[in-house]
Amino acid sequence: MKRAKEEFPLYTRFPALRKIPRVSLCVLPSPVELATVDGTEIWIKSDGLNAAACGGNKVRALEFLLAGVKSGDTILTVGGEGSTHVLATAIHARRLGARVIGVRWRHEMNHAAYRVADMIADECVASRVYGSATGALIRAQLMRLTQRCRYIPLGGSTPLGVLAHVNAALELAAQVRAGELPAPTRVVVPLGSGGTVAGLSLGFAIAGLDTATIAVQVTPAIVANRLHVRRLISRTARLIERATGERIPRVPAHLLGVVHDAYGGAYGRSLPAAVAAARALETSTGIRLDDTYSAKAFVVALALARSSDGITLFWNTFDSRLL
């Protein structure tokens, strides 16, 4: 099949957005492939391969959030003990010569989370783990007031970071046009801090794709909920409108779904059905998932591929090379 051009589709669609600072950290587009898992066909976009090291959805947002960072700068960010966002921030900020302070909190852990936590300890110049998210977030806000640093919020899920995921949706649309895959009926993706889901949903609307974004809750519902995603979508649309002067299409309600059944009651908690689905995927394709994020989304994606009409695509946000 013909490969989509390596370009930044957001700039092709909105040339005025080139004025927003961005640093190139990714190798794009990330690949798509058709897999057969336990007799079920499902498309996979391997977004964990979107960077030479520590790929995944977080590095996309960091292209905007780390723009302008200079050697010797200090970056402050927050996340769970096994947060891939904190790890990606530390690794890619170091590529730019910056140092990262990671403020984290305890949660249920699994094999992948322990591996990520160990890497965070190696990559950050300072990293302390607090007993609760509330305590960690309060500590981070105090540090913002007392230290000279650039602060990157939880998950990098700000309108600026969401722009990168709008680009990701436009990237998929370009791959569809290039004949790499059929237009998906639905795209299934983990729902953590909401930036990836918001950007994909908005990007599909901008691209004119009648593709539903199915968001699978993997963090507490106080963050992982439809209202939060909708607000991120609206704020990002306003950012694009202010920068371009264009009217941005809204995301129809029926094209954004949130699934809560795969959460399992705690961030980082392994879900037996998700572990089994991930094992089946690895057996079929060699692709490994993590129990915190991607396995929970994949069990939903596989069930939808089996039971629903149309094309299901699983958006794999995890870089299994970390394992």
Would you state the pLDDT for residue 2?
Answer: 40
Q: Is the pLDDT of residue 6 over 80?
A: no
Record: fold of 59-155: Rossmann fold (3.40.50)
84: exposed, middle or buried (C-beta count within 10 Å: 0-12, 13-18, 19+)? buried
Listed by start position, the domains of the chain span 9-56+157-322, 59-155
Share of the chain above pLDDT 70, in %: 98
Question: What class does CATH assign to 9-56+157-322?
Answer: alpha beta
Pairing assessment for the beta strands 186-191 and 312-316 based on DSSP bridges: parallel
C-alpha–C-alpha distance, residues 83 and 86, integer Å:
5
Would you state the pLDDT for residue 4?
Answer: 42
User: E strands, 38-168, where?
Assistant: 40-46, 74-80, 99-105, 126-130, 150-152
Question: If DSSP codes are grouped into helix, strand and coil, which group holds residue 1?
Answer: coil
What average pLDDT score do residues 125-151 get? 95
C-alpha–C-alpha distance, residues 104 and 283, integer Å:
34
Q: Is the pLDDT of residue 215 over 90?
A: yes
Per-residue DSSP letter, 76: E
What average pLDDT score do residues 110-129 get? 96
What average pLDDT score do residues 263-289 get? 97
What average pLDDT score do residues 18-33 get? 98
Q: Which sign does the torsion angle of CA 198, 204, 210, 216 carry?
A: negative
Q: Is the pLDDT of residue 320 over 80?
A: yes
What average pLDDT score do residues 10-33 get? 98
pLDDT in tens, 29-42: 999 999 999 999 99
Would you state the pLDDT for residue 225?
Answer: 97
Within this chain, domains 9-56+157-322 and 59-155 share the same CATH topology? yes
Would you state the pLDDT for residue 7?
Answer: 76
